[in-house]
Amino acid sequence: DTQMTQSPSTLSASVGDRVTITCRASQSISIGLAWYQQKPGKAPKFLIYKASSLESGVPSRFSGSGSGTEFTLTITSLQPDDFATYYCQQYNSFPWTFGQGTKVEIK
Amino acid sequence: EVQLVETGGGLVQPGGSLRLSCAVSGFTFSTYEMNWVRQAPGKGLEWVSYISSTSNTIYYADSVRGRFIISRDNAKNSMFLQLNSLRAEDTAVYYCARVRASVPGDYWGQGTLVTVSS
């Protein structure tokens, strides 16, 4: 199985900051990676697929990059609505697996 | 508008069974793969199971294989998850999510809570 490791687990930032979250795969997953945003009590929201493709309707301040085993989610100019937990998920091979999540909190 | 609505959660004793349903609308269900994801209280997301559009291909996480059964009824625009031999560690919110072009979750339901406790 492919293990996904996110870092950091928690990130404290201010509105307007640039934020980067890293997701590492235990083996190559090509570009089979998605990113989600989740707020308390809500279902995850789909942000990015194929490592770097932005889902329709998602603000352009979100971007993804990487391939193989190392990936990043970047939020340029963090907005109040962006404080949430972010998850990566590999879908290159079954079983699909998630990272443990990165909580972005207000500094 | 795409909608996914999970039902069937509740309180069940260890060893018991439960059947979750996911009713969808707003898209042609029979042409989409689907999956289930769960989230234990205060924990992260865990992928549970996948089913192809025709039910020909099914996958399970190791943690549920042999105990859970995924199925779908394209005529009724619904997907199901039969949960058997339930354990305390199966306590979670269970989400159904649509798969789009092999990408796991472009639309999600609101989730249904399963609590396994005596």
List the pLDDT tens digit at each of the 107 positions of chain A. Answer: 999 999 999 999 999 999 999 999 999 999 999 999 999 999 999 999 999 999 999 999 999 999 999 999 999 999 999 999 999 999 999 999 999 999 999 88
Residue with tokens 């069940």: B12
* Residues B7-28, mean pLDDT to the nearest whole number: 98
Q: Which pLDDT score is estimated for B102? A: 87
Q: Six-digit token pair at A10? A: 């928690």
Q: Which pLDDT score is estimated for A33? A: 98
Query: What percent helix, strand, coil does chain A show, rounded to 5?
Result: 5, 50, 50
Q: Which pLDDT score is estimated for A82? A: 97
Q: Six-digit token pair at B69? A: 């059964």
Q: Which pLDDT score is estimated for B3? A: 98
Q: Residue B74: helix, strand or coil by DSSP? A: helix
- Residue B59, pLDDT above cutoff 90: yes
Largest CA distance in chain B: 41
Q: Residue A80: helix, strand or coil by DSSP? A: helix
- Residue B92, pLDDT above cutoff 90: yes
Instruction: Tell me the one-letter amino acid at A44.
Output: P
The DSSP element (H or E) to which B91 belongs, if any, is: none
**Window 46-85 of B, Cβ < 8 Å to A:** 46-47, 50, 59-62
- Residue B48, pLDDT above cutoff 90: yes
| Secondary structure letter of residue A92 according to DSSP | S
- Residue B46, pLDDT above cutoff 90: yes
Q: Does B108 touch chain A (CB under 8 A)?
A: yes
Q: Six-digit token pair at B53? A: 């559009």
Cβ atoms B60, B48 nearer than 8 A: yes
Residues 6 or more apart whose CB falls under 8 angstroms from that of A65 comprise A51, A52, A71, A72, A74
Verify whether the Cβ–Cβ distance A43 to B102 is below 8 Å: no
- Backbone angles phi and psi of A106, in degrees to 5: -75, 130
Confidence of residue B43 (pLDDT cuts 50, 70, 90): very high
Q: Which of A52, A64, A59 is nearest to A81 (CA)?
A: A59
Q: What is the pLDDT of residues B94-109, one digit of tens each?
A: 999 999 988 999 999 9
Q: What rounded mean pLDDT belongs to chain B?
A: 97
Q: Which of A48, A50, A43, A33 is nearest to A91 (CA)?
A: A33
Q: Which pLDDT score is estimated for A36? A: 98
Q: Which pLDDT score is estimated for A77? A: 93
Residues 6 or more apart whose CB falls under 8 angstroms from that of A78 comprise A13, A14, A15, A16, A17, A18, A19, A61, A104
Cα A81 to Cα A59: distance, rounded to the nearest angstrom: 11
* Residues B38-65, mean pLDDT to the nearest whole number: 98
Residue of A nearest to B6 (CA): A43
Q: Which pLDDT score is estimated for B101? A: 87
Cα A2 to Cα A25: distance, rounded to the nearest angstrom: 7
Q: Measured between beta carbons, which residues in chain A are less than 8 angstroms from residue B95?
A: 43-44
Verify whether the Cβ–Cβ distance A98 to B106 is below 8 Å: no
